[in-house]
Amino acid sequence: MKWLWVPAVMCVAIAMLAGCTEVVDGDSRSVKPGAQSTATDMTSTPPRPSYRDKLDPTTRQYLAHFDEVRGIDSCALIDPAIVGRFGEIKSFGGFGDRCAVAYRDPSLDLPPPGQPKPPTPTFGSIGFGAREVAVPSEREKAALSMCDFWVESGWVDPNGRPEYVKYTFSQPGLSGPGGGAALCPLARPVIDASREFAKSKAPLASSTRSTLTKLMTLDPCAALNEVGRDRSIEVLVGGKSPFGADDPTRCLFRDLGETTTDDIESIAFRMLGTRDMAYDGQPNANILGVPTYFKAKACSYIALVGNDKPVPGPFEQTWVAAITTDMARGKNCAVAEKNITAAVRAYQQS
């Protein structure tokens, strides 16, 4: 199954709000950005404490920043005028914290109708929106058919490290050593024109390019209000994750004191392309009424919470909101089932 994202091959995961607004997947109730999905008690019993109350101040600052990021329109992080110079745009959109520009016939500066196209190939796509604090010192890196850039977002983390927005320029037709390096000079004008755009806090709710979905505005760690109630939990943010950069739509956590990769549990919010889902057949499980894929070998679940309302999106296909769990304490299927159930319940009660 392919998840939205990464432009060169469009086969890695991506996946988002400010103010109250209606959303398109699940139900149409309004939702506040970063809302933590806890059970609603209709009696006079006070609400349960948030899972965040037990976390250290630095982790809470990171999670508050992620709440803000999920409310920002990532498609506003690039200069829309300059991207049109590099070919006919096939799609320009995303889901909140990630955005992509895909080209139908990429070539440098499209000529007037009837005139030959210039021979210089440019980008097949540009993907951007991921945020990182631990980045290469040169802020530019070529690899195979891609060139990556990192541009300061204006936020500084609790440890004093600046945050960067990552931009990935790709052209699958460029292969072999030096292929990606050929893209870097072409991409630099886009980066230079977009440096101020990288600091944008334009609200996702008013975006004309990003698709607003309920799931991608919510806190992926909200299920910890249930599964972490009687545990001392560490949420892996700020460079603690062994799996790469922080992701505002993914919650990595483990019990305090645990140290190995097998100890880590994951709950993630993803958008799945319906064209790619067709290869995976029918869901084989059900979680709280939600059709779900269960992969026994990996002890992983994919709950299609937006299955009833696919939404339009990038790369000329429709997308379904999904909650995934994996890396569940050494592939413990009972833990994975408990996590996916809590995550689906938090979504339904949000």
Q: How do residues 127-185 score in pLDDT, each as one tens digit?
A: 999 999 878 788 999 887 889 999 999 999 998 999 999 999 998 766 656 667 888 99
Mean pLDDT, rounded, of the chain: 81
Cβ neighbours of residue 177 under 8 Å, at least 6 residues apart? Answer: none
Q: Is the pLDDT of residue 67 over 80?
A: yes
Q: Is 221 exposed, middle or buried (0-12, 13-18, 19+ CB in 10 A)?
A: buried
For 8-24, the DSSP string reads TTT-S------S-B--S
Backbone angles phi, psi at 94, to 5 degrees: 180, -160
Question: If we measure between CA atoms, which residue out of 79, 64, 75, 35 comes closest to residue 202?
Answer: 75
For 158-171, the DSSP string reads TTSPEEEEEEEEE-
Decide: 207 and 73 in contact? Cβ < 8 Å. yes
Mean pLDDT along residues 310-319: 84
What tens digit of pLDDT does each residue of 187-205 get? 999 999 999 999 999 999 9
Q: CA-to-CA distance for 62 and 159, rounded, in angstroms?
A: 10
Mean pLDDT along residues 205-232: 93
The per-residue pLDDT for 314 is 80
* pTM as predicted: 0.80
Q: Is the pLDDT of residue 21 over 80?
A: no
Q: 11 pLDDT band (50/70/90 cuts)?
A: very low
The per-residue pLDDT for 308 is 87
Decide: 300 and 320 in contact? Cβ < 8 Å. no
The per-residue pLDDT for 43 is 43
Q: Is the pLDDT of residue 74 over 60?
A: yes
What tens digit of pLDDT does each residue of 126-140 get? 999 999 987 878 899
Q: Is 114 exposed, middle or buried (0-12, 13-18, 19+ CB in 10 A)?
A: exposed
Q: 37 pLDDT band (50/70/90 cuts)?
A: very low
Instruction: Say what percent of the chain tops pLDDT 70.
Output: 78
Beta strands 99-106 and 146-156: pairing type?
A: unpaired
Q: Is the pLDDT of residue 334 over 80?
A: yes
Of 129 and 36, more confident: 129
What tens digit of pLDDT does each residue of 49-58 get? 799 999 999 9
